[in-house]
Amino acid sequence: MELKKTSFSRKIGLKTVGILIVVLTVLISIILLITANKIIDYSKNVQTASDEYIKAQLTASQLKQGSDNLTEHVRSFVVTGKTKYLDYYLKELLETKTYDNAYEELAPLLDDANLASSLEMINSYETKLKELEGKGILLALYAYDISNQNYYYYFKDYRLTDYEKALDNDTKHDRAISMVFGGDDELVHFGDYDMHKKIVNDNIEIFIKQLSNVTKAEQESSITALNSAVVRARSYIVTAMVLMLSVAFIVLAYVVAPLVKNIEHINSHEYLELNGVREMGFLASAYNEMLTQVKDDQDKLSYEASHDALTGLYNRQAFLSMYQSYKASKICFLHIDIDNFKEVNDSYGHDIGDRVLQKVAKTLNDIFRSNDLIFRMGGDEFAVIMVGIKSDDQNVVKKKAKKIMDKLADTKDGLPYISVSIGATFSREDGTDKRMYKESDLALYEAKNNGKGRIVFFDDKMLKK
């Protein structure tokens, strides 16, 4: 089986398949990595927006809490005159700074102009509240005749008018209460405390709602972007699956399937199919050539092991193997020996002797049927197994023997006259292989002792001699 390797030149190669797999793997990995990073970024944005929203809401609530703390402490002090409430007020104003800290944290977080404006407005009214609180505390200090100068120092920026200084303590106390609770006294020129307080509280609520809306919008935007990234990721994954399945199909169709099929052929000692990638074709071609050579060598070795090199007939080894496979009831066994063959060799030489052996072999091949088995047993000894012949067909065998004698007697070919002696026996129902060989040998002995150049059939009387 000879195959041209050039016939595989246009097939896809294993190297190409490998490169394709690597390229697709890298491409898919890059796409998925980019998509994963995008999803992570969008997820972080959503988380950041949520965190900022929570932080901003808590901080905005602290604005109100800080303002309410100051209001509570200042009112408690003004009403009761107990300095502990004033201490609480100063601690909240100067140390804890709940309102101020919340304001400082919120300001940098606000990218929205409306939110920034609302925060500034809240702070402006909170400043007015602190002015009213400061003036109210100062009036209360005088009203309660508190002598601790440290308190007066904290509120040195606030001044009482001459009118206010001339008021008695009860009036100063009433005016202080009006400062931090509100009232209709037209002399409270700083404005109504309750009104300012309500403005601060209402605007803080409005601010929190605005903040919630802005943050919600940012969250929704981030979630929309995240969902888009997830949708893209799904499409990329589907594309990746299709590409990987395509690669898997290529590998299965052009590498695995031909390989598995050819392994079956190898196990069955059959020729391989020239399918698959280019390299598979080359390997299959090389294997097929090798298998052809091996089979040729095996046929040659088998032929040489079972045939005689000189005559081309089956040899003794083949006789021992093949004779066992025929039933004894269906054959006639002929034992043939060339008469005076040693004298031919001595007189004419071994070359002529070899030609005589070849002549006998050719004669036997010409006369017997193709399904009869002809053997050279060694030297000048031959054997024939006539298949499908019974004892009733003795005349058929005799005619075959006469034709053999006549052909061998013809010397036109330049070879000396030769004859053969034949011992024949028919198989019987109770016959055995060894019996037939012995019987034909006895019959051959009788043929040689009775003048040679004849055929003798076995008779049971020969066993008594």
pLDDT at 360: 97
113-143 vs 98-109: helix crossing angle, rounded to 10: 170
305, 253, 261: which is closest to 284 by C-alpha? Answer: 261
Strands 420-426 and 373-378, sheet pairing: unpaired
For residue 173, CA distances in Å to 133, 148, 202 come to 13, 18, 29
SS3 call for 456: strand
Degrees, nearest 5: CA angle 395-407-405 = 45
Q: How many other CB atoms are found less than 10 A from the CB of residue 31?
A: 18
Domain segments of the chain: what residues?
A: 14-229, 316-464
Q: How many other CB atoms are found less than 10 A from the CB of residue 397?
A: 20
SS3 call for 331: strand
428, 454, 429: which is closest to 439 by C-alpha? Answer: 428
- DSSP-assigned letters across all residues of 15-84: HHHHHHHHHHHHHHHHHHHHHHHHHHHHHHHHHHHHHHHHHHHHHHHHHHHHHHHHHHHHHHHHHH--HH
Degrees, nearest 5: CA angle 140-146-150 = 100
For residue 128, CA distances in Å to 125, 191, 275 come to 5, 9, 93
Task: Write out the two tokens for 425.
Answer: 């026996």
**Taking the alpha carbons of 189, 191, 194, 196 in that order, is the dihedral positive or negative?**
negative
Contact status, residue 374 vs residue 314, Cβ threshold 8 Å: yes
Q: Tell me the C-alpha distance between 409 and 415, whole Å.
A: 10
pLDDT at 1: 45
Contact status, residue 423 vs residue 458, Cβ threshold 8 Å: yes
pTM: 0.46
Q: Tell me the C-alpha distance between 203 and 208, whole Å.
A: 8
Q: Which CATH class is domain 316-464?
A: alpha beta
pLDDT at 268: 77
b/e for 210-242, b at 16 or more Cβ within 10 A? bbeebbeebbeebeebbeebeeebeebeeebee
> pLDDT of the chain along its 465 residues, tens only?
444 444 565 667 767 777 877 887 787 778 777 777 877 876 776 677 677 667 777 887 888 999 999 999 999 999 999 999 999 999 999 999 999 998 888 887 777 788 888 889 899 999 999 999 999 999 999 999 999 999 999 998 888 888 988 999 999 999 999 889 875 544 444 458 888 889 888 888 888 887 778 777 777 777 887 788 788 777 877 887 787 787 777 777 777 777 777 788 788 778 887 777 777 677 777 777 777 776 665 666 677 788 999 999 999 999 888 877 765 568 899 999 999 999 999 999 999 999 999 999 999 999 999 999 999 999 999 999 999 888 889 999 999 999 999 999 999 999 999 999 999 999 876 555 568 889 999 999 999 999 999 999 999 888 876
Report the greatest alpha carbon distance in the chain. 183
How far does the chain reach from its first CA to its final CA, in angstroms? Answer: 60
Task: Write out the two tokens for 107.
Answer: 């300001």
pLDDT at 297: 55
Contact status, residue 372 vs residue 385, Cβ threshold 8 Å: yes
pLDDT at 188: 41
Task: Write out the two tokens for 255.
Answer: 């590498």
Task: Write out the two tokens for 213.
Answer: 């809306």
